[in-house]
């Protein structure tokens, strides 16, 4: 039966200091080995009582075991040599990489310029105007005459806020496959407390400083403007008047159109339609630990550092939104 009969053999114990700090080695005499050379080596290195990889040196606590080897001395004996060195923090990055751990979350908002034809209340901005002309009468005199009142649309530049969220986490594998699947897609389910189609994945990037053993992965998402979803709605505009022209689909309407039909379901409207431009993905599969948050709950660990911020509530979207 294999056993350790001597520790810290003089011929194998060594301590040295260099540009990388302290390094050391220790020797352990083993007897009672059996089998072929590989079996004897495996049995010796696996013996209980030997230092484990990552275990600190007994007297120099700034270095730890990083390698264990075996030297045969006879049919049943040998020496296990344990080597120690100061481990660079980046060498431990792989062990700290864990996709089940909550990521670091960053939230921010920027403004982008857009053109709008509605005011803060959602009403179409229009300008009523006319023109006064001087008309000559039959008796040779003139008089002012106003033309018929006309309505013209008004467009204005507006700075619209765009909210972005970034998640950063150390992971064991390259994010290449994830970037191929999720970047450029919109959420198919509730994500960060918002209904589907309100989040767009704008990027997934990874950087490795340990030769590909682990990656610092960053996930980027952008929320749709004013919760309108990433599905654009197009409305027909009359070229002559500049006004939007919509109405109920005649096939779905019996009888004449009425003013009450203006607010009808957009699926039954002509001149107005919503289109889906982006494919869907389930962002909760990324395990970013916040996808199950409800509309009224702030995820644990999430800090929003913005004066006057209060988490909004969101009305249920109608069919087709």
User: Which letter, b or e, does each residue of 191-212 get, where b requires 16 or more Cβ atoms within 10 Å of its Cβ?
Assistant: bbbbbbbbbbbeebebebeeee
| 3 state SS of 148 | coil
229 in a structural domain: no
- Let me know the angle formed at the C-alpha of 95 by 92 and 100, rounded to the nearest 5 degrees: 140
281 in a structural domain: no
What is the C-alpha to C-alpha distance for residues 215 and 209, in angstroms, rounded to an integer?
Answer: 7
67 in a structural domain: yes
Whole-number pLDDT of residue 270: 60
14 in a structural domain: yes
Domain count, the chain: 1
Taking only the tens place, the pLDDT of each residue in 12-48 is 999 999 888 899 999 999 999 998 988 889 899 988 8
35 phi, psi to nearest 5 deg: 95, -170
59 in a structural domain: yes
28 in a structural domain: yes
Taking only the tens place, the pLDDT of each residue in 135-144 is 788 888 888 7
151 phi, psi to nearest 5 deg: -120, 135
32 in a structural domain: yes
Q: Which helix (H) or strand (E) holds 144?
A: strand 142-146
Whole-number pLDDT of residue 317: 42
Q: Which residue from 47, 55, 17, 51 is spatially nearest to 30, judged by alpha carbons?
A: 47
113 in a structural domain: no
Cβ neighbours of residue 271 closer than 8 Å, sequence gap 6 or more: 235, 236, 244, 245, 246, 247
Residues 123, 129, 150, 237: is their CA dihedral positive or negative? negative
Whole-number pLDDT of residue 88: 61
What is the C-alpha to C-alpha distance for residues 176 and 97, in angstroms, rounded to an integer?
Answer: 16
Cβ neighbours of residue 134 closer than 8 Å, sequence gap 6 or more: 142, 143, 144, 145
What is the C-alpha to C-alpha distance for residues 64 and 54, in angstroms, rounded to an integer?
Answer: 5
Low-confidence stretches of the chain (pLDDT < 50) are 90, 92-95, 248-253, 256-267, 291-321
Q: What is the mean pLDDT of the chain?
A: 76
**Which domain range does residue 50 map to?**
3-87
Taking only the tens place, the pLDDT of each residue in 251-296 is 444 554 444 444 444 445 566 778 899 999 999 889 885 544 433 3
Look up the pTM and report it.
Answer: 0.48
Q: Which two tokens stand for residue 246?
A: 């919509």
Question: How many other C-beta atoms lie within 10 A of the C-beta of residue 175?
Answer: 21
């Amino acid at each position: 039966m294999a056993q350790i009969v001597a520790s810290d053999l003089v011929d194998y114990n060594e301590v040295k200091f260099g540009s990388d700090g302290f390094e050391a080695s220790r020797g352990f005499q083993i007897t009672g080995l059996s089998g072929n050379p590989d079996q004897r080596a495996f049995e010796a290195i696996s013996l209980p009582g030997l230092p484990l990889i990552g275990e600190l040196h007994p007297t120099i606590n700034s270095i730890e075991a990083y390698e264990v080897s075996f030297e045969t001395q006879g049919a049943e004996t040998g020496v296990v040599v344990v080597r120690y060195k100061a481990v660079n923090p980046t060498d431990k990055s792989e062990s700290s990489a864990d996709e089940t751990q909550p990521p670091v979350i960053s939230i921010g908002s920027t403004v982008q310029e857009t053109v709008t034809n509605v005011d803060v209340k959602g009403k179409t901005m229009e300008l009523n105007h006319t023109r006064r002309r001087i008309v000559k009468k039959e008796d040779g005199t003139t008089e002012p005459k106003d033309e018929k009142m006309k309505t013209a649309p008004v467009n204005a530049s507006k700075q619209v806020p765009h909210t972005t969220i970034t998640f950063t986490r150390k992971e064991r594998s390259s994010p290449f496959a994830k970037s191929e699947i999720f970047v450029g897609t919109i959420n198919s389910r509730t994500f960060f407390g918002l209904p589907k189609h309100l989040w767009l994945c704008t990027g997934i990037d990874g950087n490795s400083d340990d030769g590909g053993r682990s990656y610092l992965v960053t996930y980027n998402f952008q929320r749709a403007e004013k919760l309108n979803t990433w599905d654009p709605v197009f409305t027909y505009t009359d070229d002559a008047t500049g006004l939007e022209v919509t109405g109920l689909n005649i096939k779905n309407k019996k009888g004449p159109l009425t003013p009450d039909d203006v607010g009808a379901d957009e699926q039954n409207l002509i001149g107005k339609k919503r289109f889906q431009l982006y494919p869907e993905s389930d962002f909760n599969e990324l395990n970013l630990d916040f996808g199950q948050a409800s509309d009224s709950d702030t995820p644990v660990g999430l800090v929003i550092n913005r004066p006057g911020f209060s988490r909004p509530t969101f009305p249920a979207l109608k069919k087709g939104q």
